[in-house]
Chain A
Amino acid sequence: MESIAVLMTKPIYSYLQAELEKRFKVLKLWEAQDGSRFLEDHNQIIRAVVSDGGTGLSPELMAALPKLEIVSSFSVGMDKIDLGKCKEKGIRVSNTPDVLTDDVADLAIGLTLAVLRKLPASDRYVRSGMWKKGEFKLGTKQFSGKSVGIVGLGRIGQAIATRAEGFGCKISYHSRTPKPESSNYTYYPSVVDLAAHSDILVVACALTNETRHIINREVIDALGPRGVLVNIARGATVDEPELVSALVEGRLGGAGLDVFENEPNVPEQLIELDEKVVLAPHAGSGTEETRKGMADLVVGNLVAHFEGKELLTPVV
């Protein structure tokens, strides 16, 4: 298998790269002086692409690789891969579901607590020496018992619900169709209604054409000046300019954000709002344990494919 050429679009994770290099001929697109030339020179041998959630497989790249058989993504999100086109061309696609569910759910709760209890601002207050001058005066809000509304009750949404229930929170949700196995949670067919009935609104759905900007001005207004938005899904699920102006104007109470519309760019006004907003650099699945699990899945899917076996976690 060492002669099979696998293209990595970017330097994702050193353990992943090492594991791939043990088994395949790894071509590193980012090291090429001239990317298009590099692809031209190697397009007859590249049979697999390894990418991540943010980069995916661009239409240009797909077009440049006539021998492409499989895309193995270091992510659960598939929004940067044209799945329909892959299906059409017979290109297999795999992702990394389940292994990252707990971590992303943990971060959703972590961000919620960090926003409500102003953890980064409090930590700064101590480290800057301000505590010596006086007690921390910012009002913080209780998390226990609050109403948590979840947009998208898939694996991650459900894991968030389970955790929030441990804090006595009331759970409600929105998804394309109600889930009969979650009858103890309140279903809202409209996201605006869900927001109106939630203290904390968590975005946990996949990014698709339908869910782009699912959090818009109307939803934000319904969530209101005491509401908190948490986004651990994809930046594009939220109308970012609307979110920013709502926070600046006090029409929204606070936000915990791991994802943004144009990473790694974060709107300057969010940088300034350092008491009601908590920011993370798309670290949802970033723990050592989980990244290793994800890498093993990426490699495992490729090995299965080239051995003619069933993919471990196929999407297409």
Chain B
Amino acid sequence: MTCPPVHPYLVEALEKRFTLHKLDSVPDKAQFLSSHRDSIRAVVGNAAAGADAELIDQLPKLEIVSSYSVGLDKIDLAKCKEKGIRVTNTPDVLTDDVADLALGLMLAVLRRLCESDRYVRSGLWKKGVGFNLFLLQFSGKTVGIIGLGRIGMAIAQRAEAFSCPISYFSRSQKPGINYKYHPSVVDLAANCDILVVACALTPETRHIINREVIDALGPKGVLINIGRGPHVDEAELVSALVEGRLGGAGLDVFQDEPNVPEELFKLENVVLLPHVGSGTVETRQAMADLVVGNLEAHFLNKPLLTPVV
């Protein structure tokens, strides 16, 4: 396991069936990998740590990487393919949760839910100090989605229930979709109120949200990121928010988790979450079952449940 062993259900399930080595708690990783290079046949990773080229090179007996995530940006897929190493992830089971969180972030930012909760708990309401936050309506606002995959479609379906017109950008226009397609992200940003990043992180989508896009979204626009931190040029995002060039942001992911730019902490128009998109008890369990299920299938020579490579 290359990721921090913080999910008891997953750790227990793996320990029941395999010899589990927790790389995160090993003081000398290089030494450890060297002494175990002939016994390690599988790697379990997540959004924070997977299997990069360096690790793969150190594990000649590696047969399968089973990721506790749907995102694959921390795995060198090309190298795995080259070496015949199987890769699995956890699609679908987390789609609803991530989409729910995207909507939750939109409502939390526009309706200042966290700030409202703070305001009441601080005793200010009781003291008669006016609630002067600028609350914005969510219903009917145009939602622009970058990436219309499983998660993007699930976000669209939910936003439609609030009468939000939906528009999107993806590598190519999707046939049979009623939502308005924009051929560029800047164009999408200029024509929506809320811009949601819901695409996979690849070399092409790194910093897909840059200064130009942020400026197009503008001082009344809101950015929601439930993708990956590197989708956004974080320094540009921070200065836009601090300077008021961007209306607000709801962020579940950051460039360098768990570090979050501290300039954001005093802003009332941002909501900051510790990468909890798929974090419900129900979904974490389903994801763990998939990770274990894929490993078991592999070692029993059965078809993988959710293969990527």
A residues contacting B by CB (< 8 A) are 102-103, 105-107, 109-111, 113-114, 116-117, 119-120, 122-127, 131-132, 134-137, 139-145, 162-168, 263-266, 271, 274, 278-281, 283, 286-290
Q: Using a Cβ cutoff of 8 Å, how many contacts connect chains A and B?
A: 172
B117 is an interface residue with CB less than 8 A from chain A: yes
B163 to chain A, nearest CB (A): 8
CB-CB contacts below 8 Å: B39-97 with A = 96-97
Please give, as numbers and ranges, the residues of chain A lying within 8 Å of B99 by CB-CB distance. 144
Contact A278 B274 (CB under 8 A): no
11 of the cross-chain contacts (CB-CB < 8 Å) are A110-B111, A110-B138, A126-B272, A135-B274, A136-B279, A139-B281, A142-B281, A144-B97, A167-B100, A264-B128, A283-B116
Contact A287 B273 (CB under 8 A): no
Contact A286 B258 (CB under 8 A): no
Please give, as numbers and ranges, the residues of chain B lying within 8 Å of A113 by CB-CB distance. 100-101, 103-104, 107-108
Q: What 10 A-B pairs come out closest when comparing CB atoms? A: A166-B161, A110-B107, A113-B104, A144-B96, A102-B139, A279-B120, A131-B258, A126-B272, A120-B117, A287-B137
Provide the bound-state CA to CA distance between A143 and B158, in Å.
12
Contact B96 A168 (CB under 8 A): yes
Contact B111 A287 (CB under 8 A): yes
CB-CB contacts below 8 Å: B135-166 with A = 135-140, 157-163
Provide the bound-state CA to CA distance between A264 and B161, in Å.
32
Contact A141 B136 (CB under 8 A): no
A177 to chain B, nearest CB (A): 26
Contact B134 A106 (CB under 8 A): no
Contact B272 A142 (CB under 8 A): no
Please give, as numbers and ranges, the residues of chain A lying within 8 Å of B260 by CB-CB distance. 126, 131
Contact B258 A132 (CB under 8 A): yes
B276 is an interface residue with CB less than 8 A from chain A: yes
A101 to chain B, nearest CB (A): 9
For chain B, the count of residues having a C-beta within 8 Å of the partner chain is 56
Contact A271 B117 (CB under 8 A): no
Please give, as numbers and ranges, the residues of chain A lying within 8 Å of B14 by CB-CB distance. none
B126 is an interface residue with CB less than 8 A from chain A: yes
Please give, as numbers and ranges, the residues of chain B lying within 8 Å of A106 by CB-CB distance. 107, 111, 137-139, 162
Contact A102 B121 (CB under 8 A): no
Q: Look across to chain B and name the residue whose beta carbon is closest to the beta carbon of A143.
A: B100
Provide the bound-state CA to CA distance between A265 and B117, in Å.
14
B204 to chain A, nearest CB (A): 29
Please give, as numbers and ranges, the residues of chain A lying within 8 Å of B117 by CB-CB distance. 114, 120, 274, 278-280
Q: Look across to chain B and name the residue whose beta carbon is closest to the beta carbon of A140.
A: B280
Please give, as numbers and ranges, the residues of chain B lying within 8 Å of A263 by CB-CB distance. 125
A129 to chain B, nearest CB (A): 9
CB-CB contacts below 8 Å: B161-192 with A = 161-163
Q: Which of A102, A123, A168, A280 has the most CB of B within 10 A?
A: A123
Contact A122 B135 (CB under 8 A): no
B98 to chain A, nearest CB (A): 10
Q: Look across to chain A and name the residue whose beta carbon is closest to the beta carbon of B259.
A: A132
